[in-house]
């Protein structure tokens, strides 16, 4: 019997799924996965598990984020180990932004100690992306409450990144209200957060549909725009040694030529 060849698009089935990325997202987050799929190159598959234990109708303030970050992840990590992933991506920016860079590094180290896999947090990925762009001055926007915005800016400052302008929503938003924001919201807030001397714009929150606004913002502002999800995938792809230079959905962070 002749050997069968199964073809999907331009790739043979069996050859096209080579790498596995594991991701942990907050239970109510429905924007991180579609964003990261837009940024996933051929040959990478995404395997996601969720972390809950919070009230989706409550305001996710600093105290709530600290509590959320300190929940055990044993079950989530075991599920990802069962899926035989190579890397764990923690897709909640504010959970570790709230506590500073030292906590963020310790958080990654604890994940690795628990499951034996390297780990990337979104907060750490934002800093990594900005440093790779050579950026030290930014505009900053997110749907966070004011105190959490302050802590986010302080996190960046401790990493050598100065925030020259900021923009946030007038009312405090629940997790579900943040989730319901649109790319147009992200675009408008991005314009408000820009500063003439800012080298890039940062849009924080993995459950914010900001990635789709990146091309329009970069065209209007003439500078890189880095979102939580674009930074997270950028950092993950670098650790997996996967070329990301042709991923146009991520904007200049991905398409620049060094």
Residue 119 resides in a domain: yes
On whether the CB atoms of residues 190 and 217 are closer than 8 A, the answer is yes
Mean pLDDT throughout 245-252?
92
Per the domain annotation, does 137 fall within a domain?
Answer: yes
H or E segment and range at residue 80: helix 74-82
Of 72 and 120, more confident: 120
Determine, yes or no, domain membership for 1: no
pLDDT band per the 50, 70, 90 thresholds, residue 17: low
Is there a contact between 189 and 211 (Cβ–Cβ < 8 Å)? no
| Residue 200 lies in domain | 7-255
Q: Which is higher by pLDDT, 181 or 246?
A: 181
Other CB atoms within 10 A of residue 176 CB: 13
Q: CA-to-CA distance for 199 and 201, rounded, in angstroms?
A: 7
Question: Which residues face 8 on adjacent strands?
Answer: 11
Return d(Cα 41, Cα 22) in angstroms, integer.
15
Residue 185 lies in a domain: yes
123-140 pLDDT tens trace: 999 999 999 999 999 999
pLDDT in tens, 145-156: 999 999 999 999
Alpha-carbon Rg for the chain in angstroms: 18
Q: Can you tell me the distance from the alpha carbon of 240 to that of 230, in angstroms, rounded to the nearest whole number?
A: 15
Q: Considering the domain boundaries, does residue 2 fall inside one?
A: no
Res. 233: pLDDT tops 60 = yes
Is the model's pLDDT at 14 over the cut of 70? no
Residue 56 confidence (pLDDT): 85
Reported as a single tens digit per residue, the pLDDT across 185-199 is: 999 999 999 999 999
Structural domain contains residue 153: yes
SS3 183: helix
Q: Specify the CATH number for the domain of residue 176.
A: 3.40.50.12500
- The number of domains in the chain is 1
Whole-angstrom Cα distance, residue 244 to residue 238?
A: 8
Model confidence band, residue 257 (pLDDT cutoffs 50, 70, 90) = low
Is 226 part of a structural domain of the chain?
yes
Residue with tokens 């992840």, as numbered in its chain: 73
pLDDT over 50 at 10, yes or no? no
In a domain, 57, yes or no: yes
pLDDT exceeds 50 at position 81: yes
Q: Is the pLDDT of residue 57 over 90?
A: no
Measured CA to CA, the distance from residue 225 to residue 103 in angstroms comes to 26
Encode burial over 34-59: b for 16+ CB neighbours within 10 A, e otherwise: ebbebbbbeebebebbebeebeeeeb
């Amino acid at each position: 019997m002749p050997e069968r060849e199964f073809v999907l698009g331009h790739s043979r089935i069996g050859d096209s799924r080579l790498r596995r990325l594991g991701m942990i997202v907050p239970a109510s987050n429905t924007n991180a996965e579609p964003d990261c799929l837009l940024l996933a190159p051929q040959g990478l598959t995404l395997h996601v598990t969720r972390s809950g234990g919070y009230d989706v109708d409550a305001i996710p303030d600093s105290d709530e984020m600290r509590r959320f970050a300190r929940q055990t992840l044993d079950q989530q990590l075991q599920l990802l180990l069962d899926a035989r992933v190579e890397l764990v991506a923690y897709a909640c920016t504010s959970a570790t932004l709230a506590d500073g860079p030292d906590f963020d590094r310790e958080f990654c180290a604890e994940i690795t100690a628990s499951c034996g896999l390297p780990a990337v947090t979104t907060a750490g990925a934002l800093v990594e992306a900005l440093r790779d762009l050579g950026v030290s001055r930014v505009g900053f926007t997110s749907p966070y409450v004011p105190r959490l915005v302050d802590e986010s800016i302080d996190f960046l400052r401790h990493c050598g990144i100065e925030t020259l302008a900021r923009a946030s929503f007038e009312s405090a938003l629940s997790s579900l209200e943040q989730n319901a924001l649109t790319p147009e919201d992200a675009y408008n807030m991005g314009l408000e957060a820009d500063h003439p001397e800012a080298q890039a714009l940062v849009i924080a929150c993995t459950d914010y549909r900001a990635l789709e606004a990146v091309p329009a913002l970069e065209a209007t502002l003439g500078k890189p725009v880095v979102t939580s999800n674009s930074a997270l995938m950028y950092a993950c792809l670098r650790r997996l040694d996967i070329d990301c230079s042709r991923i146009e959905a991520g904007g200049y962070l991905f398409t620049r030529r060094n």
